[in-house]
Amino acid sequence: MFNPAITCCYLYPITKYGYPPPAEETGRHLEEMKALGFRSVELEGIREEHLLKVYEQRCVLREQIQALDLLVPYFCIVLPGLSAADAATREHNLRLFEKGCEIARLLGAHGVLDNAPLPPYQFPDDIPVARHYDADVLHAAFLPRNLDWKKYWNDLAQTYRAACDIASEHDLTYQMHPCLGVLCATAGDFLRFYDTVGRDNLRFTFDTANQFVQKENLALSLRRLAGHVDYIHLSDNRGIRLEHLAPGDGAIAWEPFFETLDVIGFDGHFGLDIGGDESDIADIDAAYRQAARWLADRWHSTANKEAQ
């Protein structure tokens, strides 16, 4: 079994069963991640319908997690409506967010995670139900003509203060996940947003593939974000387009990355975030097992050694 600080991300069932994977099959997903050798897994509630289905199962899921002797350090609450332009939509999503925090607390999580806020783009239809927004999708979006950016920014900060406070009431951190097009896509973006929101439990989920494809220097970003990162989504990327490859199959220079983790004293969790329809991976099970062994061989923090 793998170190419990090495987590199997929810991208594993997403890759196998689609986005979002059927919420009613969450129990089977847990069993499959345990069968890979993981003691620590990530779960998600994706938008309102999927999140509420997970919420209905929360007590049953807790029993199954305990029976499987699993940990769920982070629960992802995917609610793009939190950054909507209108107050009613934001308030509705805050209520959904609180249900997500209830799930996370019940499952024993350290924190909840969502993509960083998406600007209030309007799309030809609705916000696409997608994990990430690629350049073509973003190019088709536009902002409301009457949007007052200063007011929107102040309202957004207030919404995320409220979300952080809800998370804090449940003893949770609130993790911002970077991806193309969001308002905290880079280290600098997050630090500005953190200062604006003004809540200590607002955190940054470092994502090696997403930041690398946006041309961030990972070692520099880690130093800038020291003290703000306790969860890392780890996968590789070739630096050309969005991919989530097994580590070693892309172009990321891993030696300076791990050296910098030691420099900043990183002592948190890694989430193996491999797969998705953007990644050409023939055997997803083998990729996760290989990545967990690869990571255990290279990560030499005190916590890692003690957990062996």
- Other Cβ atoms within 10 Å of 276 Cβ, number: 20
> Is residue 122 assigned to a domain?
yes
Residue 130: its pLDDT value, please? 62
Q: What is the mean pLDDT of residues 51-55?
A: 98
Q: Residue 22 is part of a domain; what is its CATH number?
A: 3.20.20.150
Residue 230: its pLDDT value, please? 97
Residue 300: its pLDDT value, please? 65
Residue 305: its pLDDT value, please? 45
> Is residue 1 assigned to a domain?
no
Is residue 127 predicted with pLDDT exceeding 70? no
Mean of all residue pLDDT scores within the chain: 94
Instruction: Kindly report the pTM of this predicted structure.
Output: 0.94
> Is residue 41 assigned to a domain?
yes
Q: Can you give the residue range of the structural domain that contains 257?
A: 6-307
Q: How many domains does the chain have?
A: 1
> Is residue 229 assigned to a domain?
yes
> Is residue 207 assigned to a domain?
yes
